[in-house]
Amino acid sequence: MKNRLFMIILLSICALMTACREQKTADAGLMYTPIDQDTAREMMEKDDGHIIVDVRSREEYDTGHIPGAIPIPNENIGSDMPEALPDPEQTILVYCRSGNRSRQAAEKLGQMGYTNVYEFGGVLTWKGALTTDAPSSTPAVLSFSSFDGGGYEYTVDMENPDILAAETIRDYGENRNELEDGATYRAIITLTGLRPGRTIVHVHADSPIAGHSERLYTAMVDGTLRVTLKSQRKISSLFLFRKGKNVHYTYRIHYLQDGYYATVNDGEEQRMDTASADALMEAVEEYDVMSWDGFHETKAYARKGESFWIELTLTDGTHMQARGDDAYPEHYLPAMNAMHDILTYASFTPVMSMDDVPDT
């Protein structure tokens, strides 16, 4: 009798362990992460840009949903990324009524390429509040310093203006708000979501003193009309001078919304192909050229080396300046040679003026 009881207990333990292993194996193959509702509630309290997705029907959603959630019915999720979820890296919290549809929806989202999908069951077991209110929109705000009488003037363009609206104001602080040469202010740009989607935002900065600079962002508007910005890291402007025994060149390159423009050895301005500008950016990253910022050395009486001067501004706002005479920062030769090779084989085409346009 004791042996029989022992065998029953042993078989029960084995069955339980087998079930656990099978569950772990199943979870390991999922395209999403199952979490409990306490964990989901903790994640909702974080200001990390997450989105809550209710995959019930619209009728069920309208009767009461978790605050901030957007409706994307499970049956509407196919093989294409939903417009309301433009960012595949966004944290997505998925729920339904009981947990069945949310598991299906989370798996489909994971298979589409969303990398941070979490499923937490349904409202039947939800202990938090429900609401019938629509989620409120969350704009993105950019802020840049400037001054009257020569500082940067900021303007904004969107490749798809149906997705975003932009408003720019000057903030002089509490004590003043009128124009005065030299007065400092902050240019505040508010980007408000109009509908879900993704677009490129160009922020143009123009100054009679400092010239032109570009900031470039990818803007993503999710189903709650929350706007998320990610800086794009490209070349905004580049001045490159190098003079030695067997080499002598000067390049001036700048980026505008319609592409890149360059002058070679102080010649006429020409258009430069974007592929070469992207290759220059790769060389900048590979040789860590931005780390040269502040390098300024001269070796007196040296005659075997060369002189260089480089100023580089990127579309994420970072800037560097370096110069030397017979003194060089780390990775100088391979970096300069790589950039020169790219520019040597770059495609330059004349800029057409209105005088060059034939009459029709």
Please report the DSSP string for 281-341 in residue order: HHHHHHTTGGGGTT-EEE-TT--SS-EEEEEEEETTS-EEEEEEES---TTHHHHHHHHHH
Q: Rounded to whole angstroms, how far apart are CA atoms 239 and 262?
A: 10
* pLDDT for residue 249: 96
- Fold for domain 140-231? Immunoglobulin-like (2.60.40)
Amino acid, res. 196: P
Alpha helices in the chain (DSSP H): 2-28, 37-44, 58-63, 100-112, 274-286, 332-344
* pLDDT for residue 22: 40
Which is nearest to 287 in space by CA: 320, 323, 329, 331?
Answer: 331
Rounded to two decimals, what is the model's pTM?
A: 0.76
| CATH architecture entry for 235-350 | 2-Layer Sandwich (3.30)
SS3 label, residue 348: strand
Q: Rounded to whole angstroms, how far apart are CA atoms 306 and 310?
A: 13
* pLDDT for residue 9: 53
How is residue 8 written in tokens?
């029953």
CATH of 31-125, one of 1.10.357.10, 1.10.10.10, 3.40.250.10, 2.40.128.20: 3.40.250.10
Q: Which of 93, 96, 238, 253 is catalytic?
A: 96
How is residue 178 written in tokens?
């009128």
* pLDDT for residue 19: 46
pLDDT along the chain (360 residues), means of 10: 53 50 52 96 93 96 95 94 93 97 97 96 95 92 93 94 94 69 88 94 93 93 93 95 92 94 95 97 97 89 78 95 93 96 96 60
Domain ranges of the chain: 31-125, 140-231, 235-350
* pLDDT for residue 161: 92
20 is catalytic: no
